[in-house]
Structure 1
Amino acid sequence: MSGWRSSGAAALVGVCLAGLVVVAASVGAGSGDTASHGDGLALATGVPSGPAKGFPGAGGGPRRGAGVGPAATDGSDDDTEQSSRPNVVVVLTDDQTDYDLRWMPLTRAALGEDGMEFTDAISPHPLCCPARAEMITGQYAQNNGVQHNNGPHGGYEALDPTQTIGQWFQDAGYQTGFVGKYLNGYHAQAGRNPGWTLWDPLVQGIYDYFDFAFFNDGQGVATYDNYYVTNAVEERTNAAVRTFARDDRPFLLYSFHLAPHYRFDGHGNTEPPPVESSDRDAYADAVPPSLGKPSFNVATQGSLPDFLRGRTRRTVQEVRETFLARIRSLRAVDRSVESLVATLKETGEWDNTWLFFTSDNGYSMGEHRLVGKNVLTEESMQVPLLVHGPGVVPGSTSSLPVTLVDLPATFADLAGVTPLRAVDGSSLAPALAGQASPFRDTTLVQTGTSYGDGWAYRGVRTSRFTYAVRGAGDDVILYDRARDPYELVNRADDPAYAAIRTQLETRRQQLVACASWTCNPAFGQLPEPAAPAKP
């Protein structure tokens, strides 16, 4: 079997257990581009040309609705209704900008050209762990508890893992699965989170890309040595689809990739994401879009917010090398999306599946001298969001100001599932159906820290303005993106924007304490800046 670490003969024994394949191996000394797995959910590594022997659900046989296994139908109306409910599959990347989609042609073709693109989608808390917490709770950080990646108000320890989206769907009769990168700080000893039929997050070497391990559904950690993590997430996701497809019940499946996040080396230093050997020369002529922006290497005019102070200029070489590594690392994700679509079609699930593709946050590439995220700029907040599903008009777009917080509410709405938490987002189901419906005009945006009360900047974003305050209010940002799309001028102290600032502060005060439906008001139109505005 390709991918097993073995220089000698290996004895493999396959056992079918509850729809999964358990494989025990007697393994010799390892070498080469291979992977070794613990007992449990055994997944063949490498990219199989067809359903690989050893994948759960591999091979021919009945698909969902055909009456297999313990959930076989008896022809009752309940069984018919259950098998007709849609699947929901969510693919998440890590630190991908919205413009990175230009270098993902397979994903654009499968989901964009054949589905809907949301052109103003943002991560309202643009950092890994808070964003992922939003994705499984449907709540902002003031309600789910995760304000940062670490510290007393951050990481996995800040989350109550009960009654997350897996539990909602499982209680409604769905199979549920999670594969890939979970919340920062999660480890194998934390065990299975409630509500997940198949639980397979990364638990070791999470930022290594080559040497890592999965939880393996509780069947013993599955360890990979010198293997590319994107391929492993791809294969384990496809295996989950094949397993779920053999049951009459629909499924919710989260597939969370690491790319194009930077890599941590063995000493805790960061470096650009590694690339598969076949992709090392790809896109050699690509130019980082940030280099053409007026904000590249330029400090903000006006009162300088704290997060921009003391920033040194970035070199073009540094930015270009990082950019190329990022888009090259996304080529493997691009292929994995194509593979996932092929698996959904092969198993007969495609026509009844909602497939979402997005990222946990955006990423700055030298704008305002920043390389990174966790700041309230458009580069850090803007994320791709593509959706394919039943009835979506191919090639359609929506300009609604949507956020990651809206997605769990949307998944539940599409599946007819009742959330077990008071969700803070709004369902996008009407937009996906091409229907006009009321939507908020002001969105809560915020960042956190690993110290103090866990909060950094907290503010609001409208179709025109971004406004945020840090702490007691002596550090304020106000960007007019209509006049200043690259956010070069902070208007917080500009008298021409005084009335606007007052109204935005009123909205901010309401939203930083919001919960459930109170997070989605329509406040109405803001005034224009008083003339003349400072240049």
Structure 2
Amino acid sequence: SLIKTPNLDWLSQHGVRFTNSFVANSLSGPSRACMLTDKHSYSNGFTDNTKRFDGSQQTYPKLLQKAGYETAIVGKWHLSSNPTGFDYWNILIGQGEYYNPDFIDNGKRVRLPGYVTNITTDLALDWLDKRHNPNKPFCLLIHNKAPHRVWMPDTCDLDAFNDRVYPMPKTFYDDYKGRKAAAKQEMSIIKDMDLVYDLKMADKENEIHSNPELEKWGRANYARMTPSQRAQWDKHYAPIIQKFKKDGLSGRALAEWKYQRYMHDYLRVIRSVDRNVGRVIDYLRQHDMLDNTMIVYTSDQGFYLGEHGWFDKRFMYEESFRTPLLVYYPNGKRGDIEQMVQNIDYAPTFLQVAGVDVPKDIQGVSMLPLLKGEKPKNWRKSLYYHYYEYPAEHSVCRHYGVRTDRYTLIHFYNDIDTWELYDLKKDPEQMHNLYGKPGFEKLTKKLKKELARLREQYNETNVTE
């Protein structure tokens, strides 16, 4: 409803859209580790972004390699250790930069000129065109930086949506009543979104100042641009900066100005992602590969676009627990799939599609029957989630929980010990914590029993609280 994405729409129209797709841990590094290993964070060892991924463990690219597949990854990696299980890897350093980013090309560091989404796609198509052995099947991971913070649009997208005014989420001014952990977070657009780093208000007069560390990085992002890139950037942002200084906004006016600036830049970088997804589809079409290539579009996690007044992710609440998942599977089902799936399900799906045996220690379930249009009677009825990174950036407390088709039960632990219960049918925005309220005792007991079952199933019963 916020942006037209014709190439992502093509995947949905010619494939399937999972309407109940979720992650296991809403944080980029851990989420990637879950995808690679098909195991929850505690089992794969990468519980938060301070960890280093153990590259010696089993991953689906390694299993595909053994089965004769060529494997490659380009773009964001963000797992600290070097990739393993790939015949070719060319990855961004850390989170990566939007302009003129540094890559590590199979161990060699190199700075590449241009815009990161275009470069990532260039590298991917170059590998397909010139490096890939056409006589072998392949698995290629194209990992974009966008739309990660700080949402710096490509120069060709700077003026996109200039006239749009985006509707404010109805929960933007949430007061977090009855939700202690939500009140403790530090990812508020009003309080925590930085003027220079996030909103690009680095003025030439050096009059606008913000968090010193973030301001330093914000000005460094600008400094790494070429003169031509800076000229186009300044043409767009200079008038916005000057008007901002003149208006002297405060209170709600400032909060809502921040929200509009955030939304414009976020959706502009989405535009670059969609455009480059189209380049990949076009390449496959032009090389007669669409009929035998599975295309999967997904993300690390969902992201707050002003809901509850937030940006970022981390919480088990719906906006960041959910993640997009579109799959083009030749000769497979078309339309929506409603069954609950999780990113630990990707690996067994890919392995089954490739005719590779799925190891018994894999914790996810293959989605292949769903892609074929089948409706398995014993499909899962609940999902498990666990977030570990605290104390850390954005101050989201540690928590784990269970979600069914209608209810979510969350336990926040470590420095606090609180529970939250939501009826997703009556309260989809999760504003009203029902835990401890009269009449919900039996439901709470049932959900806690299911949560305990999942924790045992995923070997989490020994996790220290």
TM-score bracket for this pair, using the shorter chain length: 0.7 to 0.9
Determine the C-alpha separation between the residues in 1 that align with 2:292 and 2:172: 44
Structure 1 residue 432 corresponds to structure 2 residue 371: yes
* Alpha carbons 1:163, 1:194 under 8 Å: kept: no
Offset, 1:331:
1.4
Offset, 1:171:
0.5
Q: Secondary structure at the match of 1:413?
A: helix
Determine the C-alpha separation between the residues in 2 that align with 1:175 and 1:158: 22
Q: Secondary structure at the match of 2:160?
A: coil
> What is the aligned counterpart of 2:6 among 105, 127, 140?
105
Determine the C-alpha separation between the residues in 2 that align with 1:198 and 1:146: 23
Deviations 1:60-86 (A, max 9, x none): xxxxxxxxxxxxxxxxxxxxxxxxxxx
> What is the aligned counterpart of 2:350 among 400, 406, 411?
411
Structure 1 pair 419–197 and aligned structure 2 pair: CA distance change class (3 A)? farther
> What is the aligned counterpart of 2:33 among 118, 126, 133?
133
> What is the aligned counterpart of 1:459 among 380, 401, 408?
401
* Alpha carbons 1:409, 1:426 under 8 Å: kept: yes
* Alpha carbons 2:304, 2:311 under 8 Å: kept: yes
Alignment-mate amino acid for residue 298 of structure 1: D
Q: Secondary structure at the match of 2:350?
A: helix
Structure 1 residue 121 corresponds to structure 2 residue 121: no
Offset, 1:243:
3.8
Structure 1 residue 494 corresponds to structure 2 residue 437: yes
Give the equivalent residue in structure 1 for 2:424: 481
Determine the C-alpha separation between the residues in 1 that align with 2:12 and 2:91: 27
Q: Secondary structure at the match of 1:364?
A: coil
Structure 1 residue 201 corresponds to structure 2 residue 101: no
Structure 1 pair 419–167 and aligned structure 2 pair: CA distance change class (3 A)? farther
Offset, 1:487:
0.7
Give the equivalent residue in structure 2 for 1:183: 78
Q: Secondary structure at the match of 1:325?
A: helix
* Alpha carbons 1:242, 1:343 under 8 Å: kept: no
Offset, 1:221:
2.4
> What is the aligned counterpart of 1:513 among 435, 456, 463?
456
Alignment-mate amino acid for residue 104 of structure 1: T
Determine the C-alpha separation between the residues in 1 that align with 2:313 and 2:106: 32
Q: Note the aligned Cα RMSD (angstroms).
A: 2.4
Structure 1 residues not aligned, in runs of 5+: 1-98, 264-272, 519-535
> What is the aligned counterpart of 1:383 among 323, 345, 348?
323
Determine the C-alpha separation between the residues in 2 that align with 1:455 and 1:135: 23
| TM-score using structure 2 length | 0.78
Structure 2 residues not aligned, in runs of 5+: 191-254
Structure 1 pair 243–134 and aligned structure 2 pair: CA distance change class (3 A)? farther
Offset, 1:215:
2.0
Alignment-mate amino acid for residue 466 of structure 1: T
Q: Secondary structure at the match of 1:460?
A: strand
Determine the C-alpha separation between the residues in 1 that align with 2:189 and 2:156: 33
Structure 1 residue runs of 4 or more that deviate by more than 6 Å after TM superposition:
310-313
> What is the aligned counterpart of 2:102 among 185, 208, 213?
213
Determine the C-alpha separation between the residues in 2 that align with 1:119 and 1:436: 15
Structure 1 pair 181–103 and aligned structure 2 pair: CA distance change class (3 A)? same
* Alpha carbons 1:103, 1:327 under 8 Å: kept: no
Determine the C-alpha separation between the residues in 1 that align with 2:371 and 2:126: 28
Alignment-mate amino acid for residue 114 of structure 1: H
Offset, 1:287:
4.5
Structure 1 pair 407–313 and aligned structure 2 pair: CA distance change class (3 A)? closer
Determine the C-alpha separation between the residues in 2 that align with 1:415 and 1:178: 18
**Structure showing greater Rg:** 1
Deviations 1:160-201 (A, max 9, x none): 443212111000111101111012434xxx4xx332111111
Determine the C-alpha separation between the residues in 2 that align with 1:370 and 1:330: 18
Determine the C-alpha separation between the residues in 2 that align with 1:258 and 1:107: 17
Structure 1 residue 159 corresponds to structure 2 residue 54: yes
Determine the C-alpha separation between the residues in 1 that align with 2:271 and 2:354: 31
* Alpha carbons 2:102, 2:112 under 8 Å: kept: yes
Give the equivalent residue in structure 2 for 1:54: none
Q: Secondary structure at the match of 2:400?
A: strand
Give the equivalent residue in structure 2 for 1:284: 162
* Alpha carbons 1:175, 1:251 under 8 Å: kept: yes
Determine the C-alpha separation between the residues in 2 that align with 1:217 and 1:514: 37
Offset, 1:211:
3.2
* Alpha carbons 2:76, 2:96 under 8 Å: kept: no
Give the equivalent residue in structure 1 for 2:243: none
Structure with greater proportional helix content:
2
Determine the C-alpha separation between the residues in 2 that align with 1:405 and 1:424: 7
Offset, 1:455:
8.2
Structure 1 pair 402–306 and aligned structure 2 pair: CA distance change class (3 A)? same
Q: Secondary structure at the match of 1:238?
A: helix
Alignment-mate amino acid for residue 96 of structure 2: Y
| TM-score using structure 1 length | 0.69
* Alpha carbons 2:166, 2:263 under 8 Å: kept: yes
* Alpha carbons 1:244, 1:251 under 8 Å: kept: no
> What is the aligned counterpart of 2:447 among 486, 504, 522?
504
* Alpha carbons 1:167, 1:196 under 8 Å: kept: yes
Q: Secondary structure at the match of 2:343?
A: coil
Determine the C-alpha separation between the residues in 2 that align with 1:286 and 1:409: 42
Alignment of 1:221-300 (within 5 A): 221-225=109-113, 227-243=114-130, 246-263=133-150, 273-288=151-166, 291-293=168-170, 295-300=171-176
Alignment-mate amino acid for residue 177 of structure 1: A
Q: Secondary structure at the match of 1:103?
A: coil
* Alpha carbons 2:352, 2:358 under 8 Å: kept: no
Deviations 1:75-125 (A, max 9, x none): xxxxxxxxxxxxxxxxxxxxxxxx76x43222212x011111111111231
Determine the C-alpha separation between the residues in 1 that align with 2:368 and 2:78: 27
Offset, 1:214:
1.9
Determine the C-alpha separation between the residues in 2 that align with 1:137 and 1:313: 34
Structure 1 pair 141–382 and aligned structure 2 pair: CA distance change class (3 A)? same
> What is the aligned counterpart of 1:146 among 46, 54, 57?
46
Alignment-mate amino acid for residue 440 of structure 1: R
Q: Secondary structure at the match of 2:14?
A: coil
Give the fraction of aligned pairs with identical amino acids, expressed as a percent: 27
Determine the C-alpha separation between the residues in 2 that align with 1:117 and 1:397: 5
